[in-house]
């Protein structure tokens, strides 16, 4: 599925994605001389931190604009434009790390097969992404707003349950160390405008079908629809739910 990423907007407004990802770094084994692949590295904030943990660190991302921004902002790591579903690595990485990426990829079984093949024997997958139920309130509010202008929302996300994802990891031949889901209410930057800014990034292709005036109307209706649940009086708090998994080959 294609989403045109706005790398600057991502860094200015949505840097919380990488900030939360820092916690995930603690699951990476502390071994000297590790080769680490950051799958879906985005603008490279976490990839740069991974260079403290490995001797070879490569960030790959299918978005050329994200990779261009990463090369400029975090030049300590190496980067390549690459689709994870088409990577050809075999027995090459000690760690495959991935934060906030897998829900963008519809075929998790193919992805897990690719990762299992890319890992060295005993290599580790450390990943976190949106779990089943992630942003359910926002998606419902957005769908209801689209219906008011004659549209419908079709979620493009693959938010998995721990059971389904765990089965796919095991079918790819990996052994699960942990797989769990948890609620992570996530404050959005920008005060009143925070939810609309978020939607302009993450629902960009849904909004692109409408003109500017309609987009503003849709986003206003959406905010009204979810205000009683997600506005805490000072900021929007998105109803994020995450799936975290650590597994080895
Ligand atoms: C929300 S961003 C997360 C970026 C970064 N990992 C972070 O924590 O800030 C999701 C990234 O996944 C990338 N992505 C989505 N599908 C991909 C695929 N099939 N192969 C490689 N990257 C992909 C997107 O281009 C985007 O940069």
- Per-residue pLDDT of 198-211, as tens digits, reads 999 999 999 999 99
pLDDT tens readout for residues 59-79: 999 999 999 999 999 999 999
Sequence spans of domains, the chain = 7-134+155-188+237-248
Q: Is the pLDDT of residue 243 over 80?
A: yes
Of 186, 212, 183, 191, nearest to 200 by C-alpha is 212
Q: Is the pLDDT of residue 247 over 50?
A: yes
Kindly state if the Cβ of 62 falls inside 6 Å of ligand 1: yes
Phi, psi of 206 (to 5 degrees): -70, -40
pLDDT 10s digits, 116-153: 999 999 999 999 999 999 999 999 999 999 999 999 99
Measured distance CA(52)–CA(190) in Å, rounded: 32
DSSP string, 177-199: EEEEEEE--EEPSSGGGHHHHHH
Q: Whose CA is nearest to atom 4 of ligand 1?
A: 42
Predicted confidence (pLDDT) per residue in 159-169, tens digit? 999 999 999 99
Q: Does residue 97's CB lie within 6 angstroms of at least one atom of ligand 1?
A: no
Q: What is the CATH number of domain 7-134+155-188+237-248?
A: 3.40.50.150
Whole-angstrom distance, CA of residue 121 vs CA of residue 112: 15
- List of residues 6+ apart from 122 with CB closer than 8 A: 248, 249
Q: How far, in Å, is the centroid of ligand 1 from the Cα of 39?
A: 7
């Amino acid at each position: 599925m294609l989403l045109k990423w706005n790398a600057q907007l991502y860094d200015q407004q949505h840097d919380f994605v990488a900030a939360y990802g820092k916690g995930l770094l603690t699951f990476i084994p502390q071994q000297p001389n590790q080769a680490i692949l950051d799958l879906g590295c985005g603008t490279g904030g976490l990839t740069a931190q991974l260079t403290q943990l490995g001797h070879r660190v490569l960030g790959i991302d299918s978005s050329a604009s994200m990779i261009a921004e990463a090369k400029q902002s975090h030049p300590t790591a190496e980067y390549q434009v690459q689709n994870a579903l088409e990577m050809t690595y075999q027995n090459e990485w000690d760690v495959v790390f991935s934060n906030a990426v897998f829900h963008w990829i519809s075929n998790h079984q193919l992805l897990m097969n690719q990762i299992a093949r890319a890992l060295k024997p005993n290599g580790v997958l450390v990943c976190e992404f949106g779990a089943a139920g992630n942003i359910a309130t926002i998606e419902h509010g957005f769908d209801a707003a689209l219906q008011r202008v004659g549209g419908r929302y079709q979620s493009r996300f693959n938010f998995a349950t721990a059971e389904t994802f765990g089965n796919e990891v095991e079918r790819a031949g990996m052994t699960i160390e942990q797989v769990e889901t948890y609620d992570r209410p996530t404050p959005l930057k920008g005060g009143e405008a925070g939810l609309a800014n978020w939607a302009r990034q993450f629902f960009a292709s849904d909004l692109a079908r409408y003109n500017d005036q309609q987009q503003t109307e849709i986003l206003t209706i959406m905010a009204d629809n979810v205000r009683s649940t997600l506005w805490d009086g000072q900021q929007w708090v998105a109803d994020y739910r995450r799936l975290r998994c650590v597994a080895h080959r």
